[in-house]
Amino acid sequence: MLARLFSANCRVFKHFRSCAGHHTPSFSTGTAALGSVKLKGRSFLTLKDFTSDEIKKLLWVSADLKHRIKQKNEHLPLLQGKSIAMIFEKRSTRTRMSTETGFALLGGHPCFLTSQDIHLGVNESSTDTARVISGLCDIVLARVYSHSTLEELAKEASIPIINGLSDMYHPIQILADFLTLQEHYGSLNGLTVSWIGDGNNVLHSFMMTAAKLGVHLKIATPKGYDPDNSVIQEAQRLSKKHGTQLLLTTDPLEAACDSNVLVTDTWVSMGQEEEKKKRLQDFGGYQITMQTGSVAKPDWTFLHCLPRKMEEVDDQVFYSSRSLVFPEAENRKWTIMGLMVSLLTDYSPKMPLMKF
């Protein structure tokens, strides 16, 4: 198997070393250090802009809110009197439900706006929309096609803007994924995550985050479906800086080898429906099955941000005890709540800091 790591399928091979004799640096951070991290007033467009400590603080706040509200049945109206504008150019189940119910649970008022309600950049420019909404609510979550739309909103708004999904990144999904893995494994540092699928926005966000949490990342995409080159370069830099492993290949089994977590996503995203036939052909052999997991570590688990199609992962894996997809979906709520609280308040978690 080691010989295959240098096969012709391996397009990029940076900072990937054998686990034997390789010491992964500690990423543990004290409670006092993370407690001093302040995110109030920030926008959240990409995890590229957030440090290791800032990401850990977001996960800590999310876990704390989940514990206090779900486990201890506490009433926490932390966003009482505040409102959020939810701008959706793309339909959604988890992003809409998690944001809308989460903001309301915290005492705030969510306002849901579709492309039929607000013609962003059509009837009114994004610049004007950002300035108007800044005077009407406290925060915006926008689920858009083009990442440049978010950048324009953030530039012109005087309130925080959250990326609810764009063509380039899906950072709120990654917070939920890492909270789920933190809960399951008890720690993130040293885990190996293997992405098997399309080089899309979810993968880009994994690539901007994994190394900062001490997580090794192995990526298998078909030829022609690679992640964005600028994202690859930044991921290589982060991998080198944090001493983690990064592998890009076209071989799913090569990526899955000795991994703790297997991850995939839809092969045909919204707006790519006309490419479906070709994409399904190009992704032949990429379905995650128990055979894929046979080369992973004995404790391997499975993630998928949903909605899922049979060609991406079979039922035997998807509905197995190894699948964390439904806790992962629930954690979309707790992490978006943690994010919104962090961007709008100076909230300090009450629960002890987790071991990252």
Annotated active-site positions, please? 305
CA distance 231 to 48: 9
> How far apart, in whole angstroms, are the C-alpha atoms of residue 169 and residue 156?
20
Say how many residues make up the chain: 356
d(Cα 120, Cα 193) in Å, to the nearest integer? 37
Q: SS in 3 state form for the chain?
A: CCHHHHCCCCCEEECCCCCCCCCCCCCCCCHHHHHCCCCCCCCECCHHHCCHHHHHHHHHHHHHHHHHHHHCCCCCCCCCCCEEEEEECCCCCHHHHHHHHHHHHCCCEEEEEECCCCCECCCECHHHHHHHHHCCCCEEEEECCCHHHHHHHHHHCCCCEEEEECCCCCHHHHHHHHHHHHHHHCCCCCCEEEEECCCCHHHHHHHCCHHHHCCEEEEECCCCCCCCHHHHHHHHHHHHHHCCCEEEECCHHHHHCCCCEEEECCCCCCCCHHHHHHHHHHCCCCCECHHHHCCCCCCCEEEECCCCCCCCECHHHHCCCCECHHHHHHHHHHHHHHHHHHHHCCCCCCCCCCCC
